[in-house]
Amino acid sequence: MDRSWWRNVIIILVVTLGSVWYLVPTYYSFFVLPRSQRNDIKVLGDRLPGWARYPNHRLNLGLDLQGGIHMVLQVDTKTALQKRVERRGVQIANYLKDKGLGPVSIDANREKLQLTLVAKDVATMDGIQKEVKGFDDFSEVSRDGTKVVLSLKDSQVARFKEESVDQAMLVIRRRIDKWGVAEVDVRKLGTDSIQISLPGRQDPEQAKELIGTTAQLEFRMVDEANPYFKQLLSQSPPPPDSGIVLTQSEGFDQLQGPEREPLLAYATKKTPAGREVLLECVASKTKKGACESYRTYLLDRTVPLTGESLSGADASVGQLGEFEVNLSFDTQGGLEFGKLTEDNVGKRMAIVLDENVNSAPRINEKIPNGRARITLGRGGNKSYAELRQDADNLALVLKAGALPAPVTVGEIRQVGASLGDELIRKGSLAAVVGLAMVVVFMAVYYSIAGLIADAALLLNGLLILAGLALFNATLTLPGIAGFVLTLGIAVDANVLINERIREELRNGRSPRAAVDQGYDRAFWTIFDAHVTTLIAGVILLLTGTGPVRGFATSLIIGILASLFTSIVVTRTITTYLVHGRNAQTVSV
């Protein structure tokens, strides 16, 4: 036994134990945790033994196997665009009136996304045409007498559609976050759809309620001067491991903590009368869409103004280079907003979306004309890009509350839990029968070499499962079928080697030489066959979408595992049997 043999033995041991280790979280989530907690990563993390600490890397059951709801929501960008064109029409008319070119009547064509401007006087037409050029999201289609037809540019349509979907995603994420549902997957699908997976849930109506259709936006006053948080902290200190501390980073008292629920539970213990505590998410710098920690705000319970009166919000760069978000209200909302700001100059006004504080800018002066500006400043240690992101996000949030692009359910797949159980039973039975037949056949056909191949095959299966767990893959019924087939195909490598050894034996070589020759000659065949398939897999992974990528991932894992087991594992075992035991015959 030479050194390279010992090296291989160590590699095999490490890989095998590593795979088993990686599958511990999967084992716990399927067999140790009760069914209802199967998808709760947090519970899983608590239950896992100290030596297996990666609850995120585990195999999930697909919705077809465990029951649940899969939804694709379609954002009705059409309606949203129509509303936008109409709104812009009114803005253009007002603008022209301000410039002394009015009155101009505006008619919106909702199907074509066009605006028809009709002026009273032909003489103003040149002026109108010139001013209208300033609205660069529209382009002129035709001009005829007192009539100008404008059309929303295609680039704007695309941009706005994307924005609408982002808006809707943001709102849905927030809603789900608020509900604290574990293991919900929200992702964008194509250009105007959002995909949501709710494993373990059964009632589509409840799910729809959970996600809701429009966001709630409120403007509420912040009670900065109240010593409530300070008193709470000194009178009944929080549990030491909660991480809740008092912070002054915004210039007034706030509590800050790493977890949402404990912080809210603690901070609302003795909420003063007429006040309410809500949280703000401090965005994580490293993980997009996640919260680093949460901060409390003490707000007036009354809601003086809601997002219903808001008619638009846009991010822009101000004259001094600072970022700002411009708000515009409808007439009634503008009056109310004017009064609210007049009464509260110098105070902070919280912008609350779906019961979460988004930001709390200070009111610098009375804002009379239904147009408000939230200045984000040039903000100390934040980079230009970060500030720009902040401004865009805030505008997005405000718009999300203000103009819901209606969301409709484009696809629902709901699988009952009992059906899922049945599919698991049938699927695993089918897999076991298929594998058993392969294992028995190999042992009968190749005797000892067949048993070695079987050992490699089982290790191969273990490696694939561990690899899938590593990528946090989802196991579906077709996935199980694919897994069985992958193992069936993986046997090919061992067949190649064993047939080669038989051939060499027929050619009169000694057992030892035949084994060595067999492995050496078969190596390049196996290598080329695997690499070619691997290339196909990588290309599919890079260019495919959705299920195709999932397929490519398991294909790649399967090929790497097969390459390892057929070349390294079986050779190491065979070498031991033939060389180590100094065998005079070889059983192939």
Partner 1 sequence: MQILKHKTHIDFIGKRRPAVFISTVLNLAILVGLFTVGFNFGVDFAGGTVVELKFNHSIRADEVRSRAEAAGLNDVSVQGIGAASENSFLLRLGGTTQLTAENAQAVLKALEGMGNTSNFVTDVENGLINFRSTEKLVPETVRKAVAAVGLGVKEVRDLGPAQGGGQDYQIVASGMADRITQGLSRGLAQPDFATQRIDYVGPQVGKELRNKGIAALLYSMVAILLYVAFRFDLKFAPGAVLAMIHDVIMVAGYYLVTRREFNLTSIAALLTVTGYSINDTIVIYDRIREEMAKFRGKPLPDIINIAVNETLSRTILTSGVTALSLVGLLIFGVGEIWDFAMAMLVGIIVGTYSSVYIASPLTIWIDQRAAARDRAAKSGGLSRVN
Of 427-446, which residues contact partner 1 (CB under 8 A)? 427, 429-435, 437-438, 441-442, 444-446
Q: Does 25 bind partner 1 (CB under 8 A)?
A: no
Q: Rounded to whole angstroms, how far apart are CA atoms 43 and 204?
A: 25
The distance of closest approach from Cβ of residue 409 to partner 1 in the complex, given in angstroms and rounded to an integer, is: 8
What tokens does 465 get? 């499962």
Among residues 21, 22, 43, the alpha carbon closest in space to that of 32 is found at 43
* Closest to partner 1 by CB, 156 or 256: 156
Supply the DSSP string of 402-431, one letter for each residue.
HSPPPEEEEEEEEE-HHHHHHHHHHHHHHH
Q: Does 503 bind partner 1 (CB under 8 A)?
A: yes
* Closest to partner 1 by CB, 338 or 518: 518
Q: Does 482 bind partner 1 (CB under 8 A)?
A: yes
Q: Rounded to whole angstroms, how far apart are CA atoms 256 and 279?
A: 9
Q: Does 484 bind partner 1 (CB under 8 A)?
A: yes
> Near partner 1 by CB under 8 A, which window of 119-127, 236-244, 374-382, 400-408?
400-408
Q: Does 18 bind partner 1 (CB under 8 A)?
A: no
Q: Does 206 bind partner 1 (CB under 8 A)?
A: no
Q: Does 585 bind partner 1 (CB under 8 A)?
A: no
Amino acid residing at 126: D
The distance of closest approach from Cβ of residue 437 to partner 1 in the complex, given in angstroms and rounded to an integer, is: 5
Q: Does 455 bind partner 1 (CB under 8 A)?
A: no
What tokens does 244 get? 């809740």
The distance of closest approach from Cβ of residue 503 to partner 1 in the complex, given in angstroms and rounded to an integer, is: 7
Would you say 257 and 243 are in contact if contact means Cβ atoms under 8 Å apart?
yes
Supply the DSSP string of 111-158, one letter for each residue.
TTTEEEEEES-GGGHHHHHHHHTT-TTEEEEEEETTEEEEEE-HHHHH
The distance of closest approach from Cβ of residue 569 to partner 1 in the complex, given in angstroms and rounded to an integer, is: 18
Q: Does 547 bind partner 1 (CB under 8 A)?
A: yes
Q: Does 560 bind partner 1 (CB under 8 A)?
A: no
* Closest to partner 1 by CB, 290 or 433: 433
* Closest to partner 1 by CB, 58 or 70: 70
> Near partner 1 by CB under 8 A, which window of 128-136, 148-156, 278-286, 531-539?
531-539
Q: Which of 13, 123, 245, 485 binds partner 1 (CB under 8 A)?
A: 485
Q: Does 555 bind partner 1 (CB under 8 A)?
A: yes
What tokens does 358 get? 């988004």
* Closest to partner 1 by CB, 415 or 452: 415
Q: Does 528 bind partner 1 (CB under 8 A)?
A: yes
Place of tokens 């660069």: 136
Q: Does 448 bind partner 1 (CB under 8 A)?
A: no
Q: Does 31 bind partner 1 (CB under 8 A)?
A: no
Would you say 310 and 340 are in contact if contact means Cβ atoms under 8 Å apart?
no
Site for partner 1 in 410-429 (CB under 8 A): 410-416, 418-419, 426-427, 429
Among residues 329, 348, 197, the alpha carbon closest in space to that of 280 is found at 348
Binding mask 283-322 for partner 1 (x = CB under 8 A): -------------------------x--x-----------
Q: Rounded to whole angstroms, how far apart are CA atoms 77 and 474?
A: 31
* Closest to partner 1 by CB, 387 or 407: 407
Q: How many residues bind partner 1 (CB under 8 A)?
A: 93
Site for partner 1 in 74-133 (CB under 8 A): 74, 76, 78-79, 82-83, 86-87, 89-90, 110-111
Q: Rounded to whole angstroms, how far apart are CA atoms 429 and 305?
A: 61
Q: Which of 52, 495, 568, 583 binds partner 1 (CB under 8 A)?
A: 495
> Which helix (H) or strand (E) covers residue 245, if one does?
strand 245-247
Would you say 352 and 220 are in contact if contact means Cβ atoms under 8 Å apart?
yes
* CA torsion angle 409 280 264 234 (round to 10): 180
Among residues 301, 311, 303, 361, the alpha carbon closest in space to that of 331 is found at 311
Q: Does 45 bind partner 1 (CB under 8 A)?
A: no
- Residue 387 Cα to chain centre, angstroms: 23
Supply the DSSP string of 438-453, one letter for each residue.
HHHHHHHHHHHHHHHH
Q: Residue 89, Cβ neighbours under 10 Å: how many?
A: 21
Q: Does 508 bind partner 1 (CB under 8 A)?
A: no
Site for partner 1 in 323-342 (CB under 8 A): 330
